[in-house]
Amino acid sequence: MSESREAVGFQPLRSVTSFSVIIPALNEEAEIAGCVAAVRALDPDVEVIVADGGSSDRTVDLAAGAGAMVVRGPRGRGPQCNAGAARASGETLVFLHADTALPADAFGILRTLLADPTIEVAKFRLSFDTRDGLLDIAARLMWYDSLLTSYGDQGIVIRRDLFERIGGFPDWPLFEDVRLFELARVLTDIHVVPAEVVTSARRFRENGVIEQLLHDFWLWLQYLVGVSPHEIARSYERRGAGLLQC
């Protein structure tokens, strides 16, 4: 007779990975509870952390009430995300904007992908919550990885050990996501998850699609030629553009 599983020290198979979803937020009371609830509905075992940058509205209370751990960080998505990562327990970190929704079965898809140990960092395909021909084209371009087409709006999925090896996000008020992908790209490929997140097109609705696309491209060009992200942010804050909002 074969020995029992207990007798040979059998242990149940563990999950491929555990996840911590980190959501940077600043005055996101309109979105944060729904965002947290949506992630928890996908997988109640996933750790959800809201990294607040000093909200003056009900963001913190609503996030905690929806079941998230709330941590505080210096204002700015980079520092806030780093503060959330420092408290996270998951083997894989998922950085998600408060106005972005993950696809159905996101964590099942990610567990399948991350069963391959060579996949260390990924982003989702992008779609917007507003149907617009020009936005649809822009979103489809984001399905590929490049310096111009990989951003935090798509969700950033990264194994903790790689995140720590590259030093996390830079302490920048913007382009922190572009830089994280740049640093990761030196060490490994950026994988594109074959499923779409849906992100808010509110900036495009408020400012106009063409105007916002041109504005974003102008910011990217300044970054590309070496202008400090801090200086870019200061120049637009002086113009009241509010780029430091999460």
* Cα 29 from Cα 25, distance rounded (Å): 9
Interval 236-241 mean pLDDT: 55
Q: What is the pLDDT of residue 16?
A: 56
Contact 244, 233 (CB under 8 A): yes
The 10s digit of each residue's pLDDT in 69-95 is 999 989 989 999 999 999 999 999 999
Lowest average pLDDT, out of 5-9, 12-16, 20-24, 97-101, goes to 5-9
- Mean pLDDT (the chain) is 89
Find where tokens 């809201």 sit: 50
Q: For 208-224, write each residue's pLDDT tens digit.
A: 999 999 999 999 999 99
| 144 within some domain | yes
Residue 46 lies in a domain: yes
pLDDT of residue 101: 96
208 lies in some domain? no
Q: Is the pLDDT of residue 27 over 90?
A: yes
Q: For residue 210, what pLDDT is reported?
A: 94
Q: What is the value of pTM for the model shown?
A: 0.87
Q: Please state, in angstroms and as integers, the Cα–Cα distance from residue 85 to each residue in 6, 151, 225, following that order.
A: 37, 18, 30
Task: Establish if 173 belongs to a structural domain.
Answer: yes
Q: Which residues constitute the domain of residue 88?
A: 19-203
Domain count, the chain: 1
Evaluate whether residue 113 is within a structural domain. Answer: yes
| Residue 245 scores a pLDDT above 60 | no
pLDDT at residue number 238: 55
* Residue 7, in any domain of the structure: no
Residue 65 domain-assigned (yes or no): yes
* Backbone φ, ψ for residue 10 (5° rounding): -60, 135
- Domain at 81, CATH number: 3.90.550.10
**In this model, does residue 4 exceed pLDDT 70?**
no
